[in-house]
Amino acid sequence: MPPRSVADDVRSRLAAYIAERGLKQSRQRDVVAEAFFTARGHLSADELVGRVRAVDPRVSVATVYRTLKLLGESGLAIPRHFDEGQTRWESAVGRAHHDHLICSGCGTIVEFANDEIERLQALVARRHGFEVESHRLELHGRCGDCRRQATAAKGRGEERA
């Protein structure tokens, strides 16, 4: 789990959300939440299944999917769709707002924050009389490694998709 105070907050928020909906708290759900919140980056459900099953092979795929849905509905996790055809999830707890660079070659996702971009977005919204409630910025392109590989392949006369 995240650092102690954040871990306690996650546990209590998830427990409250589950209780409000009349659902049962379960050890398997706890295992999934623990695996999710100790992971870094952006996890697909399948990646989370692998992490969970390393701890407890009896946890079903359905339990992982249902728990991810609960985490999303409770505001503890954010589903992201990075144009690769599958949803990736990231923690919404104890993290500042950030944006993403996504490599269309290898799929690497880089998180970044930039105060000037945030300032410009607010300025544009104000000029248009718009009150921003939320936003996300995703920049798609090729990372340095993929560009170098493409250049090397081109130099060898290989075609690259």
pLDDT, block means (10 residues), the chain with 161 residues: 61 91 91 90 92 96 95 91 80 84 88 92 95 87 93 77 51
pTM > 0.85: yes or no: no
CATH number of the domain located at residue range(s) 1-95 in this protein: 1.10.10.10
Q: Are strands 99-103 and 138-141 parallel, antiparallel or unpaired?
A: parallel
Per-residue model confidence (pLDDT) at position 94? 75
Supply the angle between the helices 27-38 and 45-55 in degrees, to the nearest 10.
Answer: 120
Tell me the fold of 98-161: Dna Ligase; domain 1 (3.30.1490)
Give the CA diameter of the chain: 63
Per-residue model confidence (pLDDT) at position 83? 66
Q: What is the C-alpha to C-alpha distance for residues 94 and 76, in angstroms, rounded to an integer?
A: 10
Per-residue model confidence (pLDDT) at position 95? 76
Query: E strands of the chain, at which residues?
Result: 43-44, 77-81, 87-91, 99-103, 109-112, 138-141
Per-residue model confidence (pLDDT) at position 134? 82
Query: What residue ranges do the domains of the chain occupy?
Result: 1-95, 98-161
